[in-house]
Structure 1
């Protein structure tokens, strides 16, 4: 039996990733060994490779990659609910000193994964975990999105944004989403009202869609000035602003004068701290149920990459050239 595997390794910051043959990991207690069939490339992966993402706590050299879809091949002690041959997906590594998904095999904490949605391909399933978990942690865990609410998603055509639009819609909200003029058709296909952020001011779309009252929930997936604008877009008292990129310096005055609330979303926490991992597995089960019910589509870029194309895939993501999530397939 072959006990080695190919893996893409970031040996130092700003250097090209190199594919090496290395020993295959062995699952410990509570872990499963997964044969990776597809792994997404997220913007955070490219930032780690460039040495720019200290918050991810991933010292180099390292195998990068956070999202995967694949097949369970071996169980460690104490694992229930999975068996060899099961198709699974999850956000499983690539930060906090943990091996990433850009390898033929990976050992994963079984709490972090869930059965792959039957309705999605391996490529589609691999593109889903990080963005869906981030959408869920904001809209459901923090804001309790529900029927009858008006929800504004900033960056509705992006990775987190397109998941958030579909999640809010599935839970009964009326959804609005900002984007560039070229993205509005896609936003409408997802079931949201598209808002061209270059053509309309916050005051314009607040008046048009909420009678000037503001939105119940505003989810910022862009950061910077967009988060500042979000503070002016929520309803007085009951409004709730969420952001997965609230890392800059922002004045809370507009939010405070509305008596409204703000929540930050930091999806990496369970991987970095070991706390709350079971919750990520639960969220992915919810994602699978939505996908299998026809309520969740995944926007995957049409270009096909194998592991040996990893640097071209990273370039596509870092330069924003893809149309949807970039995914690497191990058997190409």
Structure 2
């Protein structure tokens, strides 16, 4: 099969087209012909940082985590899938799991689900990593109908899904963005937009919560922004974050009695730990999509497998709006 390989990691790392053996299906897995895959920030981090990250695969490597495609073979012990089924998932591109920048992938059946009926392959491929991340964060933070929820980075890959899921779960949703395009998308998704460049945390907390703070803050920006999340949260509030590799002063979190939930959605893939929970989330996401509660936003660009490097560059440029998808 055709695959795009990384032979050396680093800032100047390039993808090279190669012919490699098509993987053979094995017990507990399915062989999928990939129709589309999407690019996530973690993919670009692996390409540049390589072995500095404990979960980077050994080079030469096939990167890429998200995919949508058609089942071509079903391994022993797998139930619920047949040849010809349309599926999606996040199942490779790190550690010892070959990735999705190829024509085929052998995916653990516990990491996939039937794709949403109402979405194309391209749209379905955009969802797995970001949808699992957003869903897990909101659920772990105990989202409930009627809560005031703030999403930091509401127009981003994870953020724009978190906004829609929070709405689906019945919350009153607000989201930060830094420009007209971002705020327009946030409003379009059904949340109230907050321009973090022109409004301070104190100002928007006063304006939208009468100074009481948000019941739940989903922080897809993280890092130094977590202090803004602590400031924006209500007493005994819940914070879910996807980016927490940093040193922080937790004093505000202490005096407010906040709970912090760190979401690292790669854990099931890396450690073969509760992988079936990812399949369950993806099944739930498919239902939410098909009921009209969630639609991924795709960047306007189109890339072929051979243009994987350009797709990575597009994500890193910050010029994209929505998920960047590759047509495999």
Task: Decide: shared fold, TM above 0.5.
Answer: yes
Tell me, in whole angstroms, the C-alpha distance in 1 between the residues paired with 2:253 and 2:45: 31
Tell me, in whole angstroms, the C-alpha distance in 1 between the residues paired with 2:60 and 2:2: 15
Deviation at 1:56, TM superposition (A): 2.9
**Deviations, residues 125-145 of structure 1 (Å, cap 9, x unaligned):** 0000000100011101x1121
Tell me, in whole angstroms, the C-alpha distance in 2 between the residues paired with 1:92 and 1:64: 11
The answer (yes or no) to whether the contact 1:184–1:195 under 8 Å persists in 2 is yes
The answer (yes or no) to whether the contact 1:56–1:96 under 8 Å persists in 2 is yes
Q: Equivalent residue for 1:40?
A: 38
The answer (yes or no) to whether the contact 2:31–2:106 under 8 Å persists in 1 is yes
The answer (yes or no) to whether the contact 2:164–2:293 under 8 Å persists in 1 is yes
1:81 aligns with 2:77: no
Tell me, in whole angstroms, the C-alpha distance in 2 between the residues paired with 1:22 and 1:256: 53
Equivalent in 253, 256, 266 of residue 255 of structure 1? 253
Deviation at 1:303, TM superposition (A): 1.1
1:90-101 correspondence to structure 2 within 5 Å: 90-101=89-100
Tell me, in whole angstroms, the C-alpha distance in 1 between the residues paired with 2:79 and 2:62: 27
Tell me, in whole angstroms, the C-alpha distance in 2 between the residues paired with 1:263 and 1:323: 27
The answer (yes or no) to whether the contact 2:132–2:282 under 8 Å persists in 1 is yes
Q: Equivalent residue for 2:158?
A: 160
Tell me, in whole angstroms, the C-alpha distance in 1 between the residues paired with 2:200 and 2:55: 34
The answer (yes or no) to whether the contact 2:176–2:194 under 8 Å persists in 1 is yes
Tell me, in whole angstroms, the C-alpha distance in 1 between the residues paired with 2:307 and 2:179: 32
Tell me, in whole angstroms, the C-alpha distance in 2 between the residues paired with 1:110 and 1:60: 25
CA-based RMSD of the aligned residues comes to 1.0
**Deviations, residues 129-177 of structure 1 (Å, cap 9, x unaligned):** 000100011101x112111100000000000000000000000000000
Deviation at 1:321, TM superposition (A): 2.6
1:267 aligns with 2:282: no
1:101-112 correspondence to structure 2 within 5 Å: 101-112=100-111
The answer (yes or no) to whether the contact 1:56–1:268 under 8 Å persists in 2 is no
Q: Equivalent residue for 1:169?
A: 167
The answer (yes or no) to whether the contact 2:224–2:246 under 8 Å persists in 1 is no
Q: For structure 2, which runs of at least 5 residues remain unmatched after alignment?
A: none
Tell me, in whole angstroms, the C-alpha distance in 2 between the residues paired with 1:84 and 1:181: 46
Q: Equivalent residue for 1:72?
A: 71
1:205 aligns with 2:204: yes
Partner of 1:63, secondary structure, is: coil
Q: What is the TM-score of this pair, normalised by structure 2?
A: 0.97
**Deviations, residues 181-236 of structure 1 (Å, cap 9, x unaligned):** 22111101101000000011110011111111111000110122211111111111
Partner of 1:101, secondary structure, is: coil
Tell me, in whole angstroms, the C-alpha distance in 2 between the residues paired with 1:152 and 1:218: 5
Partner of 1:279, secondary structure, is: helix
Tell me, in whole angstroms, the C-alpha distance in 2 between the residues paired with 1:10 and 1:319: 20
The answer (yes or no) to whether the contact 1:41–1:317 under 8 Å persists in 2 is yes
